[in-house]
Chains A and B, each alone.
Chain A
């Protein structure tokens, strides 16, 4: 009765909700094709890819200065790769540790999780103060990097913890009791089984670091990362080249997500095949 009416109503509501989620991005995508004389608003003067060319520095003598994306993009990518490697390794190690209950595991769990809860602006401020006091120069590859790991490590840790919780210990024990060394067991038995989790942890770390901004703001020194140079353009008048950049970076994120999906599917398929082979 009521639920028969409720369901369609909720379905319409979900449609509106998705419009709310995606609407601004769609508006931005449309406006990124604004003509050279148009501003960051409606109406569209003429359709063109002018602002995309502008982004790549192919327009000379424009009244709008080019977005400083080139070098900062490379910095952000390097930083994200560094962060991904370190936080995934730390995350796997820590989750492996939490498979045994050890003294102080409770407080240590909270210490780890705190990293994703503490506001970026606070740890950023603290790190800036600390490096000032110690006389260390702030830079994206040092002070920002350690904070990025503080932020992404808990995600990697929690993902791996969830994976290990559903993990069949007996396979490992079989390997160990057959005389295979613990290191070899990890490499040959444990790691292939937790690989999908490792992939997820890496995806989390990479995206979070690539987009991280509040932790970088006070700690990056004079050389900016990509989100910082984007934030810098907010304070002045914005032009459609910011929108063009937004569209491109969104496409980049989705490509990354698609690659992750493909790798994940392949890994699952391979595992299934392996088990089939064993049964035969």
Chain B
């Protein structure tokens, strides 16, 4: 009791003796919180709450056309024992790994040229803009544009036949896993090129000159200097691409002819047949996968330190 009073008194004392500078700092802090409050409220109500809802509903009881708030693990058991749904997890991971690798392999040389090889800033910016422009056009239109390109009577087959390179058109270009991978690689490549270019452009050219003067060949310079210094860019790009590919369903639906079913496709089709609890299970599994992928990628480099 006495102790409490004492400390209370001390607190008031400290409050009274607060310097004007500290008072102002505290007022600024309150002001900042007030400014951030609408954003915090919006994100809590419309993002955190819906996400909690997904987890909650995944334990509800699913009847034929409705869900009841009686808690059960039925949906989870059914999901994890069904080969179809377990397959969708495998498909999601497979498509993700392949697209991640292809965006990196295809995007890295582009970033190398724009970020490191070209010294003229105007040309650098212009090329980067040319790479980014397709991002401003409609996502769905970019997906659907692959159909007349890859189809049996599409552009690629027409060109190859007219050149006399093949006699019969490829039929497996469209409506296959390959089509999905090609489409996603094209759409998400920019997100890999951007961050890597950004990191490469910051490399001090004198380091490379020094290495060359000391007799290092290009291979050695690349492996020992360029690659390590660009790694944060690779990780940021990988996070962008991973997050978008893992949550995808439209490209898979439009280009695979429903042969490729990712977790996103499962969610869409389950919602379509009003199996909300089931869709929620798929949603929670997707969230877990994305969380694991991001934390693993963040382990590779400390981005906050590198940026």
- CB pair B35–A119 under 8 Å, yes or no, is no
A149 to B46, CA, bound (A): 9
Name the contact of B42 in the complex, choosing from A14, A117, A153 (C-beta under 8 A).
Answer: A153
> In the complex, which of the residues A21, A102, A127, A128 contacts B131, with contact meaning CB atoms closer than 8 Å?
A21
Could you say which of A13, A17, A118, A242 contacts B51, with CB atoms under 8 Å apart? A118
* Interface residue stretch chosen among B14-22, B73-81, B152-160: B152-160
Taking CB atoms, residues of chain B closer than 8 Å to A96 are 32, 35
- Convert B114-134 into 0s and 1s, putting 1 for each residue whose CB lies closer than 8 angstroms to a CB of A: 100100000000010011011
B139, B140, B142, B276 pick with most chain A CB within 10 angstroms: B140
| With contact pairs A97-B36, A246-B145 given, residues A7 and B249 touching in the complex (Cβ less than 8 Å) | no
Q: How far is the CA of A218 from the CA of B287 in the complex (A)?
A: 18
Q: Are B32 and A100 in contact (CB under 8 A)?
A: yes
Judge whether B283 and A97 touch: CB under 8 Å: no
Distance in Å: Cβ of A206 to nearest Cβ of chain B: 11
Q: Does A48 contact B (CB under 8 A)?
A: no
B62 at the interface (CB under 8 A from A): no
Complex: how many Å from CA A246 to CA B139?
10
A82 at interface, CB cutoff 8 A = no
**How many residues from B make CB contacts under 8 Å with A?**
80
Q: Indicate if B106 sits at the interface (CB-CB under 8 A).
A: yes
Please tell me if the beta carbons of B36 and A98 are within 8 angstroms of each other in the complex.
yes
Q: How far is the CA of A39 from the CA of B279 in the complex (A)?
A: 37
Contact B146 A24 (CB under 8 A): yes
Measured in the bound complex, the distance between the Cα atoms of B254 and A213 in whole Å is 14
Residue of B29, B250, B271 touching A103 (CB-CB under 8 A)? B29
B149 within 8 A of A: yes
CB distance from A76 to the nearest CB of B (A): 11
Q: Which of B12-39 contact A (CB under 8 A)?
A: 28-29, 31-36, 38-39
When chains A and B are docked, how far (Å) is the Cα of A115 from the Cα of B43?
7
Contacts of A13 in B (CB 8 A): 109-110, 113
Residues of A within 8 A of B131 (CB): 17-18, 21
Q: Is B189 an interface residue (CB 8 A)?
A: yes
Q: Which of B36-68 contact A (CB under 8 A)?
A: 36, 38-40, 42-54, 57
* Docked CA distance A245–B189 (Å): 25
B39 with A27: CB separation less than 8 A: no
A217 is an interface residue with CB less than 8 A from chain B: yes
Contact with B along A176-191 (1 / 0, CB 8 A): 0000000000000000
How long is the Cα–Cα vector from A42 to B138 in the complex, in angstroms? 23
Of the 9-residue stretches A50-58, A66-74, A227-235, A264-272, which lies at the interface with chain B? A227-235
B264 touches A10 (CB 8 A): no
Q: Smallest CB-CB separation from A21: which chain B residue?
A: B134
Among A94-131, those with CB < 8 Å from B are: 94, 96-103, 105, 108, 111-112, 114-115, 117-123, 125-130
* Contact indicator per residue, chain B 146-186, by CB within 8 Å of chain A (1) or not (0): 11110111110010000000000000000000000000001
Query: Does B231 have its Cβ within 8 Å of any Cβ on chain A?
Result: no
B6 at the interface (CB under 8 A from A): no
Query: Which residues of the partner chain A approach B141 to less than 8 Å between Cβ atoms?
Result: 25, 28, 230, 245-246, 249-250
Q: Are A100 and B43 in contact (CB under 8 A)?
A: no
Which chain B residues border A39 with CB–CB below 8 Å?
153
Task: List, in ascending order, chain A residues with CB within 8 A of B189's CB.
Answer: 21
Question: B39 contacts A90, CB within 8 Å?
Answer: yes
Given known pairs A94-B36, A114-B47, the reply for A28 and B283 (CB within 8 Å) is no
User: Contacting B153 at CB < 8 Å: which of A42, A119, A121, A234?
Assistant: A42
Give 22 A-B contacts (CB < 8 Å), ordered by A residue: A2-B217, A10-B109, A27-B154, A42-B155, A98-B32, A102-B29, A102-B36, A111-B48, A114-B47, A119-B290, A121-B264, A125-B280, A147-B46, A214-B250, A214-B264, A217-B268, A218-B271, A230-B144, A231-B250, A246-B138, A256-B136, A257-B136
Residues of B within 8 A of A (CB): 28-29, 31-36, 38-40, 42-54, 57, 106, 109-110, 112-114, 117, 127, 130-131, 133-134, 136-142, 144-149, 151-155, 158, 186, 189, 217-218, 243-244, 246-247, 249-250, 253-254, 264, 267-268, 271, 276, 279-280, 283, 286-287, 290, 294
Residues on A lying within 8 angstroms of B by beta carbon are 2-3, 6-7, 10-11, 13-14, 17-18, 20-25, 27-28, 31, 39-43, 90-91, 93-94, 96-103, 105, 108, 111-112, 114-115, 117-123, 125-130, 132-133, 146-147, 149-150, 153, 157, 207, 211, 213-214, 217-218, 227, 230-231, 234, 238, 242-243, 245-246, 249-250, 253-254, 256-257
